[in-house]
Amino acid sequence: QVQLVESGGGSVQAGGSLRLSCATSGGPFSRNCMGWFRQVPGKEREGVAAIYSGGGSTYYADSVKGRFTISQDNAENTLYLQMNNLKPEDTAMYYCAAGVITGHPLVWTYEYKYWGQGTQVTVSS
């Protein structure tokens, strides 16, 4: 059974940094892309960053460009999200996801077959 487990969330002050990790287990599974998404209660889930497995092409939401960096360690089957210069508006539950994506990787969320349970990030001003 495929599992995605996020870690690294926490509470930081504005301007601080956090590094999220997403460990995958359960054997090989079909995917060409992994991504990070976030959600605030009462709002829709938002695509934050995504990375393709082949050439490693990356996508970022405009709101995090220049501050967040997505990367992956294929040997460890782990996805990362380095978050710098955090802002209060970055406060959310962060989820990692994996799937075979044919559309825009930050928009076509329904194409992600596998999802983690989330890790909370709270940024105080």
Residue 111, judged by CB atoms within 10 A of its CB (0-12, 13-18, 19+), counts as middle
Q: For residue 32, what are the β-bridge partners?
A: none
Percent of the chain with pLDDT over 90: 85
| pLDDT given for residue 55 in this prediction | 65
Mean pLDDT (whole number) for 35-50: 97
Burial 18-37 (b: 16+ CB within 10 A, else e): bebbbbbeeeeeebebbbbb
Query: Quick one: tokens of 109?
Result: 């969320």
Helices and strands: H and E segment counts in the chain: 0, 11
Does residue 76 carry a pLDDT above 70? no
CA dist 114 and 121 (Å) reads 21
The SS3 assignment for 111 reads helix
Q: Which residue has the tokens 């075979």?
A: 100
